[in-house]
Structure 1
Amino acid sequence: MTATAERAAVLDIAERSIQGVIGNDSDELHAVVHPRAVNREARTEPPAARGRGPRAFAATGSWLAAAFDELTWATEEHVIEGDLVVTSGRLSGRHTGDFVVWTPDGTVERAFAPTGRIFSVRQAHFQRVLDGLVVEHWAVRDDQGMAMQLGWIPPTIGYLVRCQRATMRARREAARSGKASS
């Protein structure tokens, strides 16, 4: 395989993993994510997303799908350096469900009630690809820009009340499903 073909194959794997998470496609993630792969961004995600491998990456996809419809990722630029693939682009979607943020110890910290608003923010995803599989992921995201577009900040009193109710719902659901809920 030529160096150009190898670079194209590595980029394809990285793109497929992003699309697999965004599209909540467990089968695709099992095809491109190593069984021991780690997502370094999972610290505020549900406990199931903090594990390793395709199931943890799929849990991230399920978490996002529960809060956002119409999720799309569009890569605008990429850089490949050895086994590292950096993709820069836009994540867009519509906030239609509770977006639950988790604490480092795996409990529900808070939930943002759906606003129905659309967001589009720039992100950069860093993925290490070895032997044709993603083994590591981390990202740089514009979370503040997303929060402003979705109406999370500055919050109104009414929205704060809705978020408190959403947080209580998330904690009850976590308790019912056996996850931590403090």
Structure 2
Amino acid sequence: MGDRFTWTLIYTKALQSLAADSHADFLIRSQEEQHIAGAIYRAVREATRREVPLLAAGHTTAVQAARSLAERLAAEHQLTQVIYRNGARYPVQAWAEAATLAKSAVAYNAGTLNRAREAGVTYMQVFDGAGCGWTSDKDPGKATGSLRTVEDAAAWPISHPRCRRAFGPRPDVVAPG
């Protein structure tokens, strides 16, 4: 139109009103998302409390516990996918299996390490996948075959989901070398 635009009080008030209204909408949506996330967290926690003791007592395998956990979450809570912070979506069955396998591996390794401590063993030999790094698959320090202190092993009982890491006590080792 050829005229130069200037911010008048009417335009400023309209923009402030729009911003306040939008902020309120975003806040409500954010609170709804937090409520949904909290409900999902509680559902997972409740289902896990039912299934994990069976795994710990040896009445089921990790894969069976994961299947039961996923079925319970789908049936009782209509949870079919798990959405990670980065937006990636995974079927609840795959998530439950990875989570259950990881937790059972950590628990198994913790038991091994606790028993080694009780016996006065200070070094453990690591058994792991050939390409598995100590802290992650990308870690250049490979885990398998290495000797680690019980404390180091406790700090890294696994390095990734579905990790096959296990420890063997080495009472014959006082200091590696």
User: TM-score with structure 1 length normalisation?
Assistant: 0.28
Where is the strand percentage greater, Structure 1 or Structure 2?
1
Bigger RCO of structures 1 and 2 (CA < 8 A, at least 6 apart): 1
Larger Rg belongs to: 2
User: TM-score with structure 2 length normalisation?
Assistant: 0.28
